[in-house]
A and B are shown apart, each in its own frame.
Chain A
Amino acid sequence: MIGLFVLLLKREALLLCRRPAELANPLVFFAIVIALFPLAVGPESQLLQELSPGLVWVAALLAVLLSLDGLFRGDYEDGSLEQWVLSPHPLFVLVLAKVAAHWVFTGLALVVLSPVLALMLGLPAQCFGVLLLSLLLGTPVLSLLGAVGAALTVGLKRGGLLLALLILPLYIPVLILGSGALQACLHGMPATGQLLWLGSLMVLSLTLSPFAIGAGLRISVGE
């Protein structure tokens, strides 16, 4: 079973690496959204610094959401999902590998990119640790929860907007805790509480959502 997990992880990585343009899209989107805010609210550095925790998190959330629309679409269209569902292996293992690959190539990439963009918004350097840690804990939750929505909407022609409608309300706790952690750090307060909460949300979604994703895929394939 672990062998299969690793094999799927490798296969997904291979697939993503053969289409490098798609890998870059969420990252570019993340950067553009961040760049939009100073243009919209004005370039005062004080205001931007004050807003930066929220901006980084909203942008990260939207970038993950956008990348999720295509998570299962290719596999649905070429019939791979049918083979997964009929395989003698439990579906949640396959699903977990798929989401893990997605997270490594979008979530983790966002985490790596975030300090640069946060710097442009004027977030002080002592907050980078909290920024990285909160994104590191929060983005897997975004990927996992979003995959539930992606699994449920994969069979629909125009599922993208619906996916956002289904998933964004569920993202709110992560947004509150993630930006809360950054805000606390910005005001010189400890952010341990929020980070611990984010960690427990991650464990919770890691344990429960693979089953929901599997159920969603079965429903979409069985349509």
Chain B
Amino acid sequence: MKWTFFHKLGSPKWFYEISGRWLPILGWAAVLLILAGTVWGLVFAPQDYQQGNSFRIIYIHVPAAFLAQSGYLLLAIAGVVSLVWKMKLADIALKCAAPVGAWMTFIALVTGSIWGKPTWGTWWVWDARLTSMLILLFLYFGIIALGQAISNRDSSAKACAVLAIVGVINLPIIKYSVEWWNTLHQPATFTLTEKPAMPAQMWLPLLVMVVGFYCFFGAVVLMRMRLEVLRRESRTSWVRTLVEQSIGRGGSA
């Protein structure tokens, strides 16, 4: 009935076919948007009247920070789907998205710290947002470490799902407690509801970069998931024919 779509999505073969169609679109969108955003942001956007050119690092820092948080949310959603509907594909998504999210968090941290050097004069300031980002990185590490420590594949996925859900419930509490702990912080760069304080020439390329990063994240996660699907389904007939086909094509070419 209405759940057939959902169950169909859980079938690895169907996922492999559909994702094969999405992947090029996402990949090209990511390349184009990131290229456009980079050139626009680094060359054409005006200088900041206080920070000069150093503010331009936000074109990497802010999208990475967005992805770091969305990535964790994605883990938790995948966790809920995996625990409630026992969908194998959600397990795979959780496993594949965690390292990518951790890298995004890492990039956000490093760029934030580089940005801190000209702005605050030191590489590291216990600023609320940098600190929450650091804690987020630890949360990612926890999920990755737990996933690798448990050898049984199903148990490992379920354990990670529980941890991701517990983490996502804690995340707002951590965020607010850290902000409360350090009330000296810059307000968030831009929110979807409020009018941004930056001029349009500055935040439009940022928006392009954010969308580009989302596409990039999606493409990388899809690629990793497709690989994992192939590995897990390696005994099934559809994977075998697929491999034979691609070997045949490779041999004839």
The short answer to whether A and B are in direct contact, CB under 8 Å, is yes
* Interface positions of A (Cβ within 8 A of B): 145, 148-149, 152-153, 155-156, 159, 162, 165-166, 168-170, 172-173, 176-177, 180, 197, 201, 208-209, 212, 215-216, 219-220, 222-223
Q: Which residues of B have CB within 8 Å of A149?
A: 163
Say how far B72's CB is from chain A's closest CB, in angstroms.
12
> With A168-B138, A170-B167, A215-B83 given, can you name 7 additional A-B contacts, CB distance below 8 Å?
A148-B162, A149-B163, A152-B146, A153-B149, A180-B180, A215-B158, A216-B159
Q: Which of A153, A168, A173 contacts B173 (CB 8 A)?
A: A173
* Interface positions of B (Cβ within 8 A of A): 83, 135, 138-139, 141-142, 145-146, 149-150, 152, 155, 158-159, 162-163, 165-167, 169-170, 173-174, 177-178, 180-181
* A162-B146 CB under 8 A given contacts A169-B138, A169-B139: yes
Q: Which of A152, A155, A177, A216 contacts B177 (CB 8 A)?
A: A177
A176 touches B180 (CB 8 A): yes
In the complex the two chains form, what is the Cα distance from A140 to B15 in whole Å?
44
Q: Which residues of A have CB within 8 Å of B165?
A: 212
- B149, B159, B163, B166, most chain A CB atoms within 10 A: B166
* A172-B159 CB under 8 A given contacts A166-B146, A223-B150: no
In the complex the two chains form, what is the Cα distance from A152 to B79 in whole Å?
15
Considering the complex, give the chain B residue whose CB is closest to the CB of A149: B163
Say how far A179's CB is from chain B's closest CB, in angstroms.
9
Q: Which residues of B have CB within 8 Å of A169?
A: 135, 138-139, 142, 167, 174
In the complex the two chains form, what is the Cα distance from A148 to B181 in whole Å?
26
B162 touches A172 (CB 8 A): no
Q: Which of B138, B155, B178 contacts A223 (CB 8 A)?
A: B155
In the complex the two chains form, what is the Cα distance from A212 to B161 in whole Å?
10
Q: Which residues of A have CB within 8 Å of B162?
A: 148, 152, 212, 215-216, 219
Main secondary structure of the interface of A (DSSP, over half): helix
A165 touches B138 (CB 8 A): yes
B166 touches A170 (CB 8 A): yes
Q: Which of A165, A176, A177, A220 contacts B155 (CB 8 A)?
A: A220
* A165-B142 CB under 8 A given contacts A153-B149, A223-B152: yes
In the complex the two chains form, what is the Cα distance from A54 to B82 in whole Å?
39
In the complex the two chains form, what is the Cα distance from A220 to B167 in whole Å?
19
A153 touches B181 (CB 8 A): no
Say how far A81's CB is from chain B's closest CB, in angstroms.
14
Considering the complex, give the chain A residue whose CB is closest to the CB of B160: A152
In the complex the two chains form, what is the Cα distance from A216 to B158 in whole Å?
8
B178 touches A172 (CB 8 A): yes
Q: Which residues of B have CB within 8 Å of A201?
A: 173
Mind listing 7 A-B residue pairs with CB under 8 Å? A145-B166, A153-B146, A169-B139, A172-B177, A177-B177, A197-B177, A223-B150
In the complex the two chains form, what is the Cα distance from A223 to B155 in whole Å?
6
B178 touches A152 (CB 8 A): no
Q: Which residues of A have CB within 8 Å of B135?
A: 169, 172
A222 touches B142 (CB 8 A): no
A173 touches B146 (CB 8 A): no
Q: Which of B142, B150, B166, B167 contacts A155 (CB 8 A)?
A: B150
* A180-B181 CB under 8 A given contacts A201-B173, A212-B162, A215-B83: yes
In the complex the two chains form, what is the Cα distance from A175 to B165 in whole Å?
21
In the complex the two chains form, what is the Cα distance from A145 to B167 in whole Å?
10
Q: Which residues of B have CB within 8 Å of A168?
A: 138
In the complex the two chains form, what is the Cα distance from A170 to B138 in whole Å?
10
Q: Which of A148, A155, A166 contacts B145 (CB 8 A)?
A: A166
Q: Which residues of A have CB within 8 Å of B158?
A: 215, 219
Q: Which residues of B have CB within 8 Å of A220?
A: 155, 159
In the complex the two chains form, what is the Cα distance from A222 to B155 in whole Å?
7
In the complex the two chains form, what is the Cα distance from A201 to B155 in whole Å?
29
B145 touches A165 (CB 8 A): yes
Say how far A135's CB is from chain B's closest CB, in angstroms.
17
- B142, B178, B181, most chain A CB atoms within 10 A: B142
Say how far B1's CB is from chain A's closest CB, in angstroms.
28
